[in-house]
A and B are shown apart, each in its own frame.
Chain A
Amino acid sequence: MASFPLPLQPARSFGQTHRQDRWWLQPLSVLVGLTLFVVYATWAALQGEYYTYGPYLSPFYSPELWGRSEHAWWGPVPSWWPAWLPYSPAILILWAPAGFRLTCYYYRGAYYKAFWADPPNCAVGEPRHGYIGENGWPLRIMNIHRYFLYLAILFIFILAYDALKAYRFADGFGIGVGSLVLTVNVILLAGYTFGCHSLRHLVGGRRDNLRTARWCSGLYRGCSALNRRHMLWAWISLFSVMFADLYVRLCAMGIWKDWRLL
């Protein structure tokens, strides 16, 4: 029987591995993809303009709680907003979807590898010897994920409402390319959100007897089906939400023209 400490070989040094494949490609792609998104999203959120075009509202700015556009829920920028602080409706709400993605089980595993090299990839040596993981603070905070999930579900309903409104033009019902962009975006975001591991647990995974709760069993199966491709949903919805903002922004700036299909 083994007795502690185990006589193990010393851990390998940073990047040391006998893997012959391009193991660095996957973390590098995650690094580039996520950096691109964070830089773009921060820039777009701080702009505070060009976020609506006709019936379209950029998903980064929805819900627009206070703002200058006709999409604003509660009217113009409140008087209590400090004059020295630039205002953008996005910064009031973006923390919620950002927190949802930041604490998502898939993204956690991906960015721990890509940004923190913990590990750089499977069976590749690490740069640090000490390790706390999510066993202690600050990363224990990741257990908050399900609270962000509740907010994310709310956002799906709001974005679905925005997508419906994107078919109501000044001259009545119509379909523009933007209407389709916003519709596809909310479908992809829903595919990501409803495949969440926490949701899968809450709707049925937490039970040992699913048979006795028929609706739980149905929801659990649906959620599990989406969950099987959670990584794919995570990436395509990330790029679609970025593209939806870019589309509305470029149309509003007059760089792109929104084609009316109907």
Chain B
Amino acid sequence: MPQILFRIWRGDRHGGQFRDYQVEIGEGMVVLDAIHQLQATQAPDLACRWNCKAGKCGSCAAEVNGIPRLMCMTRISDFPPDQPIIVEPMQTFPLIKDLVTDVSWNYQVKQRIAPFRPRPPDAPDGTWRMSQADIDRVQEFRKCIECFLCQDVCHVLRDHHKHEEFIGPRFFVHTAALEMHPLDTENRIAALKRDFHIGYCNITKCCTKVCPEQITITDNAIIPLKERVVDEFYDPVLKLIQLVFRPRRSSSVPAPSSSPHPQSAPTLSSASATTSAPVSPSSP
């Protein structure tokens, strides 16, 4: 069986180094298979996180030859056989051990974003009606598997370490899914500018390039949100027109902190309702 040289990062946050391993390659193998083979044969203490091996849990995110990828979806045959394949942990999060990073910062960020707050039910049966056309956009965002590869590649976090100020592409996708939802009444635009610093994004589209779910993060989530920020803060003409003719949104929407989210706020999964299907607040 042919062998390929793997150069794998071994170490923790106090230090480490790349170590070389020869791996026997079979047909159709992915990088995660090679890691598992190493754990079984040469390096039983090699740490890596994985779960589904089907590109759906987002656990096996790492950097392969410098590019953030899911190890379980990266075929070894895509690389030249005569060169080493370099595998290292994501750079944007604190390292725990070898290929495993601590991504809990992302969960903290998510808690800062005001959750879904639907308008009162307006259908006779006490639910809502939505059209498929209106939820097409947010359905794209709901494909996210929270692998955080986009967070890893984003230079605002990766190179400039703006974790305290910038929420990163994953959470712009999340905010867009909420903000563009036809039932949602919360206003997150001011927070996007002042607290989440969407202005740090300089539209490099690196997040879009690495997303394993092919979510068009920059064009469909971030830029539309930037445009909503422009509506609110940088377009005096539009503001004037809105003032004279038709205020688009009520500014009296209570801030997330002051709003007791009604009952148990329905989850965003209501968005998967098909055309004109009733949506119930408690149905997923």
Using a CB–CB cutoff of 8 Å, the interface residues on chain A facing chain B are: 1-2, 4-9, 11-12, 17-21, 105-106, 108-109, 112-113, 118-119, 122-123, 125-126, 129, 131, 133-136, 139-140, 143-147, 197-198, 200-202, 205-206, 208-211, 217, 227-228, 230
Contact = CB atoms under 8 A, between A and B. Distances in A.
26 contacts: A7-B94, A8-B91, A9-B13, A9-B91, A18-B86, A20-B86, A108-B203, A109-B202, A109-B203, A112-B203, A113-B204, A122-B204, A122-B206, A129-B160, A131-B200, A134-B202, A140-B199, A200-B224, A206-B248, A208-B134, A208-B180, A208-B181, A209-B134, A227-B219, A228-B219, A230-B219
Contacts of A147: 237
A2 B108 contact: yes
Interface stretch (B23-31, B47-55, B151-159): B151-159
A131 B203 contact: no
Main secondary structure of the interface of A (DSSP, over half): loop
Contact of A123 (B153, B163, B164): B153
Given A5-B164, A123-B153, 17 more contacts: A6-B94, A6-B161, A8-B92, A11-B158, A21-B65, A105-B223, A105-B226, A106-B203, A112-B202, A123-B91, A146-B227, A202-B227, A206-B227, A208-B184, A210-B133, A211-B131, A230-B219
A112 B204 contact: yes
Interface in B41-79: 63, 65-68, 79
Interface in B216-240: 218-219, 223-224, 226-231, 233-235, 237
Main secondary structure of the interface of B (DSSP, over half): mixed
B66 A217 contact: no
Contact of B104 (A2, A19, A135, A209): A2
B5 interface: no
Q: Which 10 A-B pairs have the closest CB atoms?
A: A135-B199, A18-B66, A19-B66, A122-B206, A109-B203, A201-B227, A143-B234, A211-B131, A2-B105, A131-B160
Interface in B161-196: 161-164, 179-182, 184
B201 A126 contact: no
Interface in B221-272: 223-224, 226-231, 233-235, 237, 248
B205 A134 contact: no
A75 to B, nearest CB: 32
Given A11-B161, A206-B228, A119 B155 contact: yes
B223 A197 contact: yes
Contacts, number: 159
Given A20-B66, A108-B202, A205 B227 contact: yes
Given A143-B230, A198-B227, A126 B155 contact: yes
B33 interface: no
A7 B163 CA distance: 11
B93 interface: yes
Given A112-B204, A143-B234, A211-B133, A123 B158 contact: yes
A228 B208 CA distance: 13
A6 B102 CA distance: 10
A7 B63 contact: no
Contacts of B131: 211
A242 to B, nearest CB: 24
A131 B200 CA distance: 8
Contacts of B181: 208
A15 to B, nearest CB: 12
Contacts of A122: 67, 153, 155, 204, 206, 209-210
Contacts of A9: 13, 91, 95
B13 A7 contact: yes
Contacts of B93: 6, 8
Contacts of B229: 143
A211 B183 CA distance: 13
B66 A123 contact: yes
A197 B197 contact: no
A135 B200 contact: yes
A19 B91 CA distance: 14
B223 to A, nearest CB: 5
B83 interface: yes
Contacts of A18: 63, 65-66, 86, 88
A201 B224 contact: yes
